[in-house]
Amino acid sequence: MTDENSWPTGRSGDLVPGERDGETAGEPVWPRVGDGARGHTAHAIGAGAVAALVGFTSSFAVVLAGLTKMGATPAQAASGLTVVCITQAVGMLLLAWRFRIPVTLAWSTPGAALLASTGAVAGGWAAAVGAFLVTGVLIVLTGFWDRLGRLIAAIPVEIAQAMLAGVLVPLCLAPVRSVTVSPAVVVPVLVVWLALQRFAACWAVPAAFATAAVGVGIDIAVTHRRLDLAAMTPHVELSAPHWTWQAVIGVAVPLYIVTMAAQNIPGTAVLSSFGYRVPWRAAMTTTGLGTLVGATAGGHVVNLAAISAALTAAPAAHPDPRRRWIAAFGTGCTYLLIAPAAAALVTLVAAAPRGALESVAGLALLATLAGALTAALGPAEHRTAAAVTFLVSASAITIAGIGAAFWALAAGLLVRWVLAARATGTPAAANSR
């Protein structure tokens, strides 16, 4: 039985503290830090800026790939990247200021990978926008309706992670395949990434992107091409949503599940590991509303940050835990400054040699793939179900207009149920003995 103010992270019964409206920000009683800690404010803001730069440069390529595969034009993809930067920034500023804890938000990188793997659905880009809106509604409902949240938490971890791993495999293969397509650009990217993995892992993907950008610039100069300067102007392009059952089942539902399982619940756990209690209802409402606001402009999902959350919640951000919220506030401010650059980045990516963007995206997702595979293949008794889930997800099949992610979940849960019934003995088998 769980406490009313706790959030279950899975079937194991481990609890991550949550919080309900009307409570104060649930920080523990911290030891006092001397007045000299005020001098660390600038450092905290700097840590927040680093978290934003690392988060953006490490995964924006995945977002662009996902939106493009769903049918977005370059202008619509640039709009989506711009608006998701703005919505998550505003959400961070509100949550950090209100609760005085380092709540860091992000776009759903696994969700963007899911979009890239799923591809265009019935109804095209308008249907994808409709699916984003449905996802936002589901996230808001999660904050207010505990039963929905507990239903998601009840999905076996190995099944959810196997589905995510299958989605990521084709994207993570891109650097390998691109070596033969554009070796002059891709090989230096891989070399720089590997070198930084050895000495400064958190900067490996940003450095890989910088290397790719240099390679693209050289390629443009050598081929005497010109960039469309008008397209580099910051803009927001609204798209009318259209709802199809294929997009709702094949995009919205898997996108919601992946976002909850790979972002929101782990993000809560990361903050809990540093002693902070996430204001669950406020966080889900804020991220859900942010998703709804940004959806018609092309933004896919806003959620709690998982990996980058540690950059603002750790002691390195500020020696006084009560003032680390300043780092999250700095992250939000930095994203507001980054947002206008989205259109220019999309223009640069559009001019890139084939495989350059895909290579950076694949490298950005490699650690996520490794983590998903580890979690999926952990329990020996459930490996068969996880393997089936992984294979169906990686197959990229489409049945009745619904993508592989949904069918992977369905197949994995079915196999797990059948094998569990065999292990425990069905009622019919028990009566025959």
* DSSP state string for 331-387: HHHHHHHHGGGHHHHHHHHHTSPTTHHHHHHHHHHHHHHHHHHHHHT-SGGGHHHHH
Tell me the backbone φ, ψ of residue 185, rounded to 5 degrees. Answer: -95, -40
Q: What is the mean pLDDT of residues 144-155?
A: 79
Percent above pLDDT 90 for the chain: 35
Note whether 327 and 44 are within 8 A (CB): yes
Given a cut of 80, whether residue 238 has pLDDT beyond it is yes
Residue 17 lies in a domain: no
β partners of residue 6:
17
In this prediction, residue 229 carries a pLDDT of: 72
Find the range with the poorest average confidence among 5-19, 72-86, 202-216: 5-19
Note whether 108 and 250 are within 8 A (CB): no
Note whether 109 and 54 are within 8 A (CB): no
Residue whose token pair is 């899975």? 10
Greater confidence, 118 or 403? Answer: 118
Greater confidence, 246 or 368? Answer: 246
Report the distance separating Cα 422 and Cα 418, nearest Å. 6
Note whether 84 and 63 are within 8 A (CB): yes
Report the distance separating Cα 392 and Cα 407, nearest Å. 7
Report the distance separating Cα 4 and Cα 19, nearest Å. 9
Residue 5 lies in a domain: no
In this prediction, residue 297 carries a pLDDT of: 96
**pLDDT range class, residue 27, cuts 50, 70, 90:** very low
In this prediction, residue 422 carries a pLDDT of: 67
Find the range with the poorest average confidence among 223-237, 295-309, 315-329, 378-392: 223-237
Shortest CA distance to 317 belongs to which of 109, 91, 16, 104? 104
Given a cut of 90, whether residue 332 has pLDDT beyond it is yes
Q: What is the mean pLDDT of residues 325-337?
A: 94
Residue 386 lies in a domain: yes
In this prediction, residue 3 carries a pLDDT of: 39
Report the distance separating Cα 26 and Cα 18, nearest Å. 9
Q: E strand or H helix at 407, and its extent? A: helix 404-424
**pLDDT range class, residue 429, cuts 50, 70, 90:** very low
**pLDDT range class, residue 285, cuts 50, 70, 90:** very high
Task: Give just the sign of the alpha carbon dihedral 269, 270, 275, 280.
Answer: negative
**pLDDT range class, residue 10, cuts 50, 70, 90:** very low
Given a cut of 70, whether residue 433 has pLDDT beyond it is no
In this prediction, residue 35 carries a pLDDT of: 43
Find the range with the poorest average confidence among 212-221, 284-293, 406-415: 212-221
Residue 212 lies in a domain: no
Report the distance separating Cα 330 and Cα 51, nearest Å. 9
Given a cut of 50, whether residue 26 has pLDDT beyond it is no
Given a cut of 80, whether residue 188 has pLDDT beyond it is yes
Given a cut of 80, whether residue 384 has pLDDT beyond it is yes
Find the range with the poorest average confidence among 152-161, 329-338, 412-421: 152-161
- Encoded tokens for 200: 């400064």
pLDDT digits (tens, 9 = 90+) for 33-89: 444 445 567 888 888 888 888 888 878 888 999 999 999 998 999 999 999 999 999
Helix, strand and coil content of the chain, in percent to the nearest 5, comes to: 70, 5, 25
Range of the domain at 250: 42-172+226-358+369-424
Shortest CA distance to 283 belongs to which of 119, 91, 430? 91
Q: What is the pTM of this model?
A: 0.78
- Encoded tokens for 53: 């730069």
**pLDDT range class, residue 426, cuts 50, 70, 90:** low
Q: At what angle do helices 157-172 and 356-376 cross, to 10 degrees?
A: 160
- Encoded tokens for 73: 């034009």
- Encoded tokens for 298: 């092309």
Greater confidence, 261 or 386? Answer: 386
Note whether 188 and 215 are within 8 A (CB): yes
Q: How many domains does the chain have?
A: 1
Residue 13 lies in a domain: no
- Encoded tokens for 374: 């580890």
Percent above pLDDT 70 for the chain: 88
Given a cut of 90, whether residue 269 has pLDDT beyond it is no
Q: E strand or H helix at 16, and its extent? A: strand 15-17
How far is C-alpha 366 from the chain's CA centre?
13
Residue 264 lies in a domain: yes
In this prediction, residue 326 carries a pLDDT of: 92
Q: E strand or H helix at 246, and its extent? A: helix 245-247
Class of residue 417 by CB neighbours under 10 A (exposed 0-12, middle 13-18, buried 19+): exposed
Report the distance separating Cα 418 and Cα 414, nearest Å. 6
Residue 275 lies in a domain: yes
SS3 assignment, position 299: coil
Query: CA torsion 252→253→258→264, rounded to 10°?
Result: 90
Residue 333 lies in a domain: yes
Given a cut of 50, whether residue 373 has pLDDT beyond it is yes
Q: What is the mean pLDDT of residues 340-352?
A: 83
**pLDDT range class, residue 6, cuts 50, 70, 90:** very low
The pLDDT mean for the chain works out to: 82
